């Protein structure tokens, strides 16, 4: 490398460091600057000569992480120093003791939490899940650990282009499953949105770029509308003496995509793309909440509000500290426009989350919500017997994005995840209350334990001394605390039942001159759709599963529920095309017409991808490829917990194999509508219909059609042709297939 390049790189590093010091408002004391300088000097020396996969100097990564921590999250000198040092122990010869000796116990503790676990793992445990668990253990002692980890993940996502595709999929899946919800839970809205957008960019690049392009066009076309909408508001608020900032708030690409998926609508029908945010400086002597409502009142004097779209997080902030008033009003050209009203303090907390609370500490008691949440995490972590993947799912339950407010008989408020039941609330109040719970009174009406609560319900828990916990309760609780407490109550009994189930299965197999092996267990797990062999043994032990039909399950090839398609009997069979990494592991697979479907790969029934869909491969214990759609929740969970088994996969031309697809239709019922639909399908040479079911009521028809199809292109052409039929209003593909 030439001397000139060296000098320019060193200058770039120096400039980056100087910018970091300027961008850190909480690092401006002489002591703070000295600590950061010392951390930078050590990290720069430790990572000397090392480069990232992108080719840039490695030190630029910790510098970028420290910059996010300082500027976008708002941590102080110790947090910034720990961010600069976060990879030193893991990647260089420095030890944790060295860091503690130079920087003290606090900084060393944070760095320890950010250092991945080493050593050999139990093969049944997920390395990703174990690392995440360790991170959380340190987080409950010092929240800065997770804030720096989120900054580290954000910079890795911003520079993910240089990684191979299977690694990109693993990191993007993990980000979507754990880190984005975690950022949301900690109130880091801008980081959460960017993580989600970047995950979408790498999991579904075509979709990402398509929505991004449409959004840019839409914003350019509606600039005049936002200006026209804002002018009367600016005049009114200025005349009332408010100091404020008003600007358009672009909706994130990921949130638009989610809405399109959820409502099965195109981009053009997402109606809340237009939004503005008003951030004002509160007038002294008047409560902030009252001023938010005054501004809302002034705006609704100009524009008519949509009554069901008012969201008041000023009176009762979200559990992550978020405060704002949201409303949707009718704009000047017949467009619904969302408005958000916040004070400067609320805006900083919304952008920087709990880190910003430190700045306002003492002004209110919102931070106790963070303490409550951390306490819940401690409770999940305190269960040493839990399987690491089960732990990940339990933890995910604590990352709820939607909350409901529940009132106690005395009028106290409890914030619970959406979907919580009366029993969840009982366990939330006290474990013993959960164990003795027999029902509840919701708004003075008697309801069962499984009753799903709604925001605003007033709930009284009913108990009986004779009540004992039932294991079946686990099926209708949603919070991690309730699930953990129910499991705790049955821990000893569960182990005994599992042993009994194992013995029963062994005896049943011995009668058939068979012994328990991985293949048989896998077949039984798939047949009964169970996540682990322990759960299988438990259900056998309890008698929930009897073994009368063991012969049928073991001999019937259709018991393998993965296979959801058929194959025409021509075409020679070739080997699956594979790419392997340096360690000899498969990293990419190409699924072609000539592959043997039952031996080389199978289609996951949870999402049923067909050629043309974005897919990802998961290698099971037998090294068999299972294809999932990249947007499938099961696939996202696998990427986040078993990333080493993920391979990137793609389709080649599929004109030999046919795959099962389902479409749903609806429209105005007319004479002959069914024959018109079947005529279009029968005329399409690329499609075979398996079955059709149509129901009509009140002049509207709804239908479901099962088809054998080659790829998404053929399916989209068929949908386009069906939409041309007069009376057909909606045709969509159903991605989860039931009952076939």
Residue 443, sorted as left (phi over 0), alpha (psi -120 to 50) or beta, turns out to be left
Identify any residues that bridge with 311 across adjacent strands, giving them in sequence order.
Answer: 326
Contact 630, 204 (CB under 8 A): yes
Contact 429, 372 (CB under 8 A): no
Q: Cite the active site residues.
A: 90-91
Q: How far is CA 384 from the centre of its chain?
A: 25
Closest CA to 563 of 521, 626, 638: 626
| Sheet strands side by side (includes 646-651) | 577-580, 586-591, 646-651, 615-619, 625-629, 601-603
> 3-state DSSP call for residue 461?
strand
Distances (CA, A) of 365 to 97, 315, 371: 37, 14, 11
- CA angle 507/508/513 to nearest 5° reads 85
Rg of the Cα trace of the chain? 29
Helix (H) or strand (E) holding 387: none
What is the torsional sign of CA 239, 240, 242, 245?
A: negative
> 3-state DSSP call for residue 315?
coil
101 vs 308: CA distance, rounded Å: 58
Contact 573, 594 (CB under 8 A): yes
Terminal Cα distance for the chain, rounded? 62
Q: Is 30 exposed, middle or buried (0-12, 13-18, 19+ CB in 10 A)?
A: exposed
Up-side HSE of residue 87: CA atoms within 13 Å toward CB? 23
Q: Is 204 exposed, middle or buried (0-12, 13-18, 19+ CB in 10 A)?
A: buried
40 vs 362: CA distance, rounded Å: 33
Q: What contacts 265, CB < 8 A, 6 or more positions away?
A: 259
Tokens standing for residue 184: 């949301």
Render 609-633 in DSSP notation, one character per residue: --BTB-EEEEE-TT--EEEEETT-H
Q: Is 675 exposed, middle or buried (0-12, 13-18, 19+ CB in 10 A)?
A: exposed
For residue 715, report the phi and psi dihedrals to the nearest 5 degrees.
-65, -45
Q: How far is CA 480 from the centre of its chain?
A: 16
Identify any residues that bridge with 618 across adjacent strands, giving them in sequence order.
Answer: 626, 646
228 vs 413: CA distance, rounded Å: 41
Identify any residues that bridge with 441 across adjacent strands, giving them in sequence order.
Answer: 446, 460
Identify any residues that bridge with 338 across adjacent strands, giving them in sequence order.
Answer: 275, 328
> 3-state DSSP call for residue 707?
strand
603 vs 439: CA distance, rounded Å: 43
Tokens standing for residue 555: 């001999």
Residue appearing with tokens 């524009």? 303
Tokens standing for residue 616: 């990802």
């Amino acid at each position: 490398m030439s001397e000139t390049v060296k000098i320019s790189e060193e200058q770039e590093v120096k400039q980056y460091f100087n910018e970091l010091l300027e961008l850190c408002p909480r690092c401006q004391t002489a002591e703070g600057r000295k600590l950061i300088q010392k951390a930078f000097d050590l990290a720069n020396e430790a990572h000397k000569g090392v480069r990232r996969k992108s080719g840039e100097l490695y030190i630029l990564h910790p510098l970028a992480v420290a910059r996010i921590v300082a500027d976008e999250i708002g941590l102080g000198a110790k947090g910034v120093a720990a961010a600069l040092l976060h990879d030193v122990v893991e990647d260089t010869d420095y030890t944790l003791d060295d860091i503690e000796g130079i920087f003290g116990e606090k900084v060393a503790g944070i760095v320890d939490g950010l250092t991945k676990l080493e050593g050999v793992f139990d093969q049944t445990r997920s390395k990703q899940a174990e690392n995440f668990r360790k991170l959380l253990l340190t987080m409950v002692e010092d929240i800065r650990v997770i804030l720096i980890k989120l900054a580290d993940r954000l910079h890795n996502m911003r520079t993910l282009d240089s990684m191979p595709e299977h690694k990109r999929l693993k990191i993007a899946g993990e980000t979507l499953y754990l880190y984005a919800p975690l950022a949301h839970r900690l109130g880091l809205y801008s980081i959460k949105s960017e993580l989600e957008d970047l995950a979408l960019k790498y999991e579904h690049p075509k979709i990402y770029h398509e929505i991004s392009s449409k959004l840019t066009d839409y914003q350019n076309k509606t600039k005049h509308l936002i200006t026209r909408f804002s002018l009367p508001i600016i005049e009114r608020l200025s005349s009332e003496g408010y100091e404020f900032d008003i600007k358009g708030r672009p909706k994130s690409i990921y949130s638009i995509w989610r809405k399109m998926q959820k409502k099965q609508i195109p981009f053009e029908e997402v109606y809340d793309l237009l939004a503005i945010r008003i951030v004002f400086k509160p007038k002294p002597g008047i409560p902030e909440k009252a001023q938010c409502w005054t501004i809302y009142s002034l705006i609704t004097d100009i524009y008519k509000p949509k009554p069901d779209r008012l969201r008041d997080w000023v009176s009762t902030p979200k559990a992550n500290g978020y405060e704002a008033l949201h409303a949707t009003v009718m704009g000047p050209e017949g467009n619904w426009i969302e408005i958000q009203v916040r004070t400067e303090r609320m805006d900083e907390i919304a952008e920087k989350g709990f880190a910003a609370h430190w700045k306002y500490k003492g002004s209110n008691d919102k931070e106790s919500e963070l303490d409550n949440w951390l306490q819940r995490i401690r409770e999940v972590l305190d269960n040493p017997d839990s399987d690491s993947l089960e732990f990940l799912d339990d933890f995910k339950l604590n990352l709820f994005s939607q909350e409901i407010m529940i009132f106690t008989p005395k009028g106290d408020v409890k914030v619970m995840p959406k979907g919580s039941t009366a029993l969840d609330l009982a366990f939330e109040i006290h474990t013993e209350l959960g164990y003795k719970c027999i029902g509840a009174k919701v708004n003075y009406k008697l309801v069962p334990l499984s009753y799903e609560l709604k925001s605003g319900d007033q709930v009284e828990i009913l108990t009986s001394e004779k009540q004992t916990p039932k294991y079946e309760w686990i099926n209708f609780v949603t919070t991690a605390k309730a699930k953990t407490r129910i499991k705790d109550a049955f821990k000893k009994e569960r182990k005994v039942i599992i042993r009994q189930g194992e013995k029963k299965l062994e005896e049943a197999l011995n009668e058939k001159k068979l012994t328990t092996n991985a293949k048989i267990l896998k077949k039984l797990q798939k047949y009964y759709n169970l996540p682990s062999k322990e759960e299988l043994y438990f259900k056998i032990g309890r008698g929930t599963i009897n073994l009368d039909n063991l012969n049928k399950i073991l001999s019937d090839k259709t018991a393998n529920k993965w296979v959801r398609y058929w194959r025409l009997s021509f075409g020679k069979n070739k080997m699956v095309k594979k790419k392997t990494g340096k360690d000899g592991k498969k990293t990419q697979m190409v699924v072609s017409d000539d592959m043997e479907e039952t031996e080389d790969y199978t289609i996951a029934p949870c999402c049923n991808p067909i050629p043309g869909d974005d897919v990802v491969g998961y290698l099971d214990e037998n090294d068999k490829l299972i294809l999932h759609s990249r947007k499938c929740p099961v696939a996202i969970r696998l990427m986040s917990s078993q990333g080493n088994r993920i391979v990137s996969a793609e389709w080649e031309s599929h004109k030999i194999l046919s795959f099962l697809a389902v479409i749903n239709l609806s429209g105005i019922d007319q004479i002959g509508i069914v024959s018109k639909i079947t005529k279009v399908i029968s005329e399409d040479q690329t499609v075979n219909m398996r079955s059709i079911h149509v129901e009509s009521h009140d002049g509207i028809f709804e239908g479901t059609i099962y088809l054998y199809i080659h790829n998404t292109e053929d399916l989209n052409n068929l949908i386009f042709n069906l939409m041309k039929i007069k009376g057909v209003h909606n045709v969509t593909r159903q991605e989860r297939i039931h009952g076939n």
